[in-house]
């Protein structure tokens, strides 16, 4: 009996390996429902475009085909996100995960699902500073920069506009708190004054009490470190209604088309930043996205493309689709030295690696992985003028 | 000038929002208190009855807007309100016939009614989410402000702005009208008097020939009207989301109990008391005090008693204090 069992197990294992040579899948776990649901489609399209590009080229590990499997991280519900990730790994048998999106669920999936299963995760948008120091056994990377960096960039932008006193409100979770902390530290260091840092809960009907406290503390502008589909918009609405603030600073969770759809010209003169570059790759990617029928400028869409591309290039470099083998290659393919690889150029990257040459994946978001495997960070500064989002510069 | 600024700040952030919120709570608490007075149980489904009524109004509002019918500067929802009240009336009378009448015939204990109403609450909860979804719905249209903060600043030259939204003004006016109508009905009409008699002493009322089923039905209809109105006003003023209506249950019950369950005047007092405490306790008074006191004495702290996260704790706290020291509430209602 024991022998039969072992034989069966061995057959299954071999079958699995043989299968992996021909067709693998990559999990794309994003918040298709929840507070970031308006951003998730653009991100998923980005990741899936990179996967399709590699699969169609037929160059990955002697013609292995790759498909994408979606999972819903919900952005806020850790147990639902864990279950979705568990399903991707055990039932769909994915070889790598692009995701998750929000910092809280990313941390949860990483510690509860990815580490025990030895799965590689590359998040396109989790920006909490806590993820820089989390124990990840070298399995976790992100193509988004840490908010520690965003805090510094945001401070520079605000100072650059001659504003030195601000009030800060953040959504009460890992993302909001991390960003608020890093911003406060950076801003005070540059000589600015933060009058009040107050949390707000998502999903309330009314934020006038929160805005009342912020207005009492005062400040020339209000930094809203929240989500545009959630409390962040509620705060802005209440602040506009009561006339408490009329200049707002929007970090990445707030910068989206929905923001100007909600408020239009009422928030003219407000500004903010979200990850993005004006590099050659960004332009190429946007053109590809437009051709594929979606908006490539949508926040974190380019980062998602890069996350998927990095996983596949690392597989090629390691000559294996097993996470334990290719995890160590992610940093190598992402950074110099080597031939620079741009979006749409993945086939050439695969060829070069197969020929034993070094590549430096630049991609759509000018990827440069630093520290424990996170993007060094490029931000675009946006401004709201005449009821539309305008990109005014890059930092 | 500084005193005026302080007053305007207080009006803008405490008095106006709290008055509007208080009026919404008072309307909700009136519904709860009427059910308690006449059917003698705490109706936990009240928050979701409000959500249901509001949902019907929102759907009608969208239909009206689609047909190009609006009320000019006023929200279209006012036009849809009577339809909402009618549909909600049908719903609550239907639930009474299907659920509560059975227990009335059994002469069930009040706690059994409460549990039955909990069941009704969950079902209504599901129906509302199923039909309109769980997300925020905005249905306010028309003029947004009576006075906006910017206009006020330009008009008066004061440093502080005063915003008075149409929805806030409307809430106060509609709530006053509804309350006046209710008290006229209870005190002046034959049906109203029979309702009060039934609430005072059921057996005596039955002996004098009052038809209990009729009293109960009329009570439900009035409650439907109050709940729908309260729900629509809250939705216009803030936003409609099924979950927040469910959460409203706590401050509404707190208002009704603080005022004295079964006592309509108490419900109104309780509504305003809870609203003013919630807003006042969580408001940071620093700016107001800074205007009044000379510059040298300007406070360094925020002068905020409780962080805004604890808003719900305020209603709970008041509820506890009242139940401990005056279980029948301020206006001497029935004890719980």
pLDDT tens-place string over residues B40-78: 899 999 999 999 999 999 999 999 999 988 888 889 999
Same structural domain, A22 and A142: yes
Within-domain flag for A3: no
Higher pLDDT, B157 or A83: A83
The rounded distance, in Å, linking the Cα atoms of B212 and B197 is: 11
Among B149, B234, B278, select the one facing A242 at the smallest CB separation. Answer: B149
Lowest mean pLDDT among A152-156, A348-352, B233-237, B295-299: B295-299
Token output for B182: 């209710």
Question: In this predicted structure, what is the pLDDT of residue B336?
Answer: 46
Same structural domain, A127 and A43: yes
pLDDT value at A14 more than 60: no
Q: Answer yes or no: do A243 and B307 touch at CB < 8 A.
A: no
Within-domain flag for B233: yes
At A2, is the pLDDT very low, low, confident or very high (cuts 50, 70, 90)? low
Within-domain flag for A4: no
Residue identified by tokens 């930043």 is: A273
Within-domain flag for A169: yes
DSSP B297: G
Distances (CA, A) of B275 to A19, A22, B15, B121, B270: 65, 65, 10, 24, 8
pLDDT value at B297 more than 80: no
Within-domain flag for B336: no
Chain A residue numbers touching B303 (CB-CB < 8 A) = 216
Question: Once rounded to an integer, what is the mean pLDDT over residues A108-113?
Answer: 94
Question: Once rounded to an integer, what is the mean pLDDT over residues A34-43?
Answer: 86
At A18, is the pLDDT very low, low, confident or very high (cuts 50, 70, 90)? very low
Phi and psi, residue A176, nearest 5°: -65, -45
pTM for the whole thing?
Answer: 0.75
Whole domain around residue B170: which residue ranges?
A: 2-325
Evaluate whether A171 touches A232 at the Cβ level (below 8 Å).
Answer: yes
pLDDT value at A107 more than 50: yes
Question: Once rounded to an integer, what is the mean pLDDT over residues B221-248?
Answer: 92
The Cα of A81 is separated from the nearest Cα of chain B by a number of Å equal to 20
Question: For the complex shown, is ipTM > 0.85?
Answer: no
pLDDT value at B334 more than 70: no
Same structural domain, A292 and A251: no
Question: In this predicted structure, what is the pLDDT of residue B275?
Answer: 93
Evaluate whether A26 touches A91 at the Cβ level (below 8 Å).
Answer: no
CATH number at residue B165: 1.10.3470
Same structural domain, A309 and A176: no
Higher pLDDT, A69 or A380: A69
Same structural domain, A97 and A132: yes
Among A200, A204, A243, select the one facing B244 at the smallest CB separation. Answer: A204
pLDDT tens-place string over residues A201-214: 888 878 888 898 88
Same structural domain, A158 and A266: yes
CATH number at residue A210: 3.40.50.2300
Token output for A73: 């991280």
Residues with Cβ within 8 Å of A85's Cβ and at least 6 positions away in sequence, in order, are: A27, A29, A71, A73, A97, A100, A109, A113, A114
Same structural domain, A261 and A286: no
Question: Once rounded to an integer, what is the mean pLDDT over residues A175-196?
Answer: 91
Same structural domain, A387 and A251: yes
Higher pLDDT, B332 or B163: B163
Within-domain flag for A2: no
pLDDT value at B184 more than 90: yes
Structural domains in chain A (count): 2
pLDDT tens-place string over residues B109-147: 989 999 999 999 999 999 999 999 888 888 888 888 888
pLDDT value at A9 more than 70: no
Pairing of strands A140-145, A374-375: parallel
Within-domain flag for B90: yes
At A262, is the pLDDT very low, low, confident or very high (cuts 50, 70, 90)? confident
Within-domain flag for B207: yes
Closest-approach residue (CA) in chain B for A211: B13
pLDDT tens-place string over residues B300-325: 777 888 887 788 888 889 989 988 98
Within-domain flag for A1: no
User: What's chain A's length in residues?
Assistant: 395
* CA-closest candidate to residue B51, choices B220, B223, B227, B178: B227
Within-domain flag for A266: yes
The rounded distance, in Å, linking the Cα atoms of B119 and A316 is: 58
Within-domain flag for B51: yes
Question: In this predicted structure, what is the pLDDT of residue A16?
Answer: 46
What does the radius of gyration of chain B's CA atoms come to, in whole angstroms? 21
Same structural domain, A137 and A158: no
Within-domain flag for A98: yes
Q: Answer yes or no: do A242 and B307 touch at CB < 8 A.
A: no
Whole domain around residue A213: which residue ranges?
A: 148-274+381-394
Structural domains in chain B (count): 1
The H or E element that residue A223 is part of is strand A221-225
Same structural domain, A170 and A201: yes
Please enumerate, as own/partner, the contacts of A188-192 that have beta carbons within 8 Å and a separation of 24 or more. Answer: A189/A155, A190/A155, A190/A156, A190/A159, A191/A159, A191/A164, A192/A155, A192/A158, A192/A159, A192/A163, A192/A164, A192/A165, A192/A166
Q: Tell me, yes or no, if A209 comes closer than 8 A to chain B by beta carbon.
A: yes
pLDDT tens-place string over residues A138-176: 999 999 888 888 898 999 999 999 999 999 999 988 888
Same structural domain, A230 and A320: no
Question: In this predicted structure, what is the pLDDT of residue A19?
Answer: 45
Q: Answer yes or no: do B282 and A242 touch at CB < 8 A.
A: no
pLDDT value at B158 more than 60: yes
Closest-approach residue (CA) in chain B for A200: B309
Same structural domain, A257 and A387: yes
Q: Tell me, yes or no, if A198 comes closer than 8 A to chain B by beta carbon.
A: yes
By percentage, how much of chain B surpasses pLDDT 90? 55
Q: Answer yes or no: do B287 and A218 touch at CB < 8 A.
A: yes
* CA-closest candidate to residue A376, choices A348, A335, A345, A322: A335
Question: Once rounded to an integer, what is the mean pLDDT over residues A364-370?
Answer: 86
Chain B residue numbers touching A76 (CB-CB < 8 A) = none
A70 SS3 class: strand
Question: In this predicted structure, what is the pLDDT of residue A8?
Answer: 57
Chain B residue numbers touching A242 (CB-CB < 8 A) = 12-13, 149, 161, 163
Within-domain flag for B281: yes
Within-domain flag for A293: yes
Mean pLDDT (chain B, rounded): 90
Chain B residue numbers touching A212 (CB-CB < 8 A) = 13-14, 279, 282-284, 308
Higher pLDDT, A173 or A110: A110
């Amino acid at each position: 009996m024991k022998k039969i069992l072992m034989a069966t197990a061995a057959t299954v294992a071999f079958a699995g390996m043989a299968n992996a040579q021909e067709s693998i899948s990559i999990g794309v776990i994003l918040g298709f429902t929840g507070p970031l649901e308006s951003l998730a489609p653009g991100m998923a399209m980005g990741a899936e475009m990179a996967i399709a590009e590699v699969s169609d080229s037929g160059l990955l590990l002697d013609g292995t085909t790759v498909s994408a499997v979606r999972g819903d991280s919900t952005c806020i519900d850790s147990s639902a996100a864990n279950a979705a990730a568990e399903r991707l790994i055990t039932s769909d048998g994915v070889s790598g995960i692009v995701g998750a999106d929000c910092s809280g669920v990313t941390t949860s999936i990483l510690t509860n699902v990815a580490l025990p299963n030895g799965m590689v995760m590359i998040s396109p948008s989790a920006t909490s500073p806590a993820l820089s120091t989390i124990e990840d056994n070298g399995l976790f990377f992100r193509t988004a920069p840490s908010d520690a960096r965003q805090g510094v960039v945001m401070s520079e932008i605000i100072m650059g506009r001659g504003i030195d006193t601000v009030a800060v409100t953040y959504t009460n979770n890992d993302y909001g708190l991390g960003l608020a902390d890093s911003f406060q530290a950076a801003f005070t260091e540059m000589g600015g004054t933060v009058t009040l840092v107050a949390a707000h809960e998502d999903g309330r009907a009314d934020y006038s009490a929160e805005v009342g406290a912020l207005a009492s503390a005062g400040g020339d502008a209000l930094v809203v470190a929240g989500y545009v589909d959630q409390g962040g918009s509620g705060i802005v609405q209440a602040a506009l209604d009561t006339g408490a603030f009329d200049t707002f600073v929007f970090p990445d969770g707030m910068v989206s088309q929905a923001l100007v759809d909600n408020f239009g010209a009422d928030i003219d003169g407000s500004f903010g930043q979200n990850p993005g570059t004006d590099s050659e790759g960004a332009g190429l990617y946007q053109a590809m996205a437009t051709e594929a029928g979606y908006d490539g400028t949508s926040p974190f869409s380019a980062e998602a493309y890069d996350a998927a591309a990095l996983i596949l290039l690392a597989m090629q470099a390691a000559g294996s689709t097993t996470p334990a083998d290719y995890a160590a290659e992610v940093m190598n393919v992402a950074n110099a030295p080597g031939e620079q690889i741009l979006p749409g150029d993945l086939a050439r990257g695969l060829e070069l690696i197969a020929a034993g040459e070094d590549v430096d994946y630049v991609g759509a978001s000018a990827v440069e992985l630093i520290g424990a495997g996170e993007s060094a960070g490029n931000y675009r500064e946006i401004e709201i003028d005449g009821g539309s989002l305008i990109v005014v510069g890059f930092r | 000038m500084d005193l005026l600024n302080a007053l305007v700040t207080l009006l803008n952030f405490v008095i106006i929002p709290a008055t509007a919120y208080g009026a919404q709570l008072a309307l909700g608490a009136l519904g709860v208190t009427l059910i308690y007075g006449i059917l003698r149980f705490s109706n936990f489904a009240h928050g979701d009855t409000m959500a249901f009524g509001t949902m019907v109004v929102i759907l009608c509002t969208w239909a009206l807007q689609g047909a190009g019918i609006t009320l000019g500067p006023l929200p279209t929802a006012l036009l849809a309100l009577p339809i909402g009240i009618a549909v909600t009336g049908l719903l609550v009378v239907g639930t009474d016939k299907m659920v509560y009448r059975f227990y009335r015939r059994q002469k069930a204990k009040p706690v059994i009614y409460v549990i039955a109403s909990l069941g009704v609450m969950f079902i209504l909860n599901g129906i509302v989410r199923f039909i309109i979804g769980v997300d925020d719905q905005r249905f306010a249209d028309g003029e947004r402000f009576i006075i906006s903060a910017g206009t006020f600043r330009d008009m008066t030259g004061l440093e502080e702005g005063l915003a008075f939204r149409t929805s806030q003004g409307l809430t106060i006016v509609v709530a006053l009208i509804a309350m006046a109508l209710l008290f006229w009905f209870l005190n002046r009409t034959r049906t109203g008097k029979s309702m009060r008699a039934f609430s005072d002493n059921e057996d005596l009322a039955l002996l004098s020939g009052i038809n209990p089923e009729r009293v109960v039905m009329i009570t439900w209809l009035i409650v439907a009207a109050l709940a729908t109105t309260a729900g629509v006003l809250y939705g216009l003023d803030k936003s409609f989301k099924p979950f927040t209506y469910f959460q409203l249950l706590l401050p509404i019950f707190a208002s009704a109990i603080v005022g004295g369950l079964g006592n309509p005047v108490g419900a109104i007092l309780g509504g305003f008391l809870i609203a003013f405490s919630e807003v006042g306790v969580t408001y940071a008074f620093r700016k107001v005090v800074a205007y009044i006191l000379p510059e040298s004495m300007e406070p360094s702290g925020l002068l905020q008693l409780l962080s805004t996260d604890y808003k719900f704790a305020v209603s709970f706290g008041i509820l506890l204090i009242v139940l401990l020291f005056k279980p029948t509430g301020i206006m001497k209602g029935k004890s719980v």
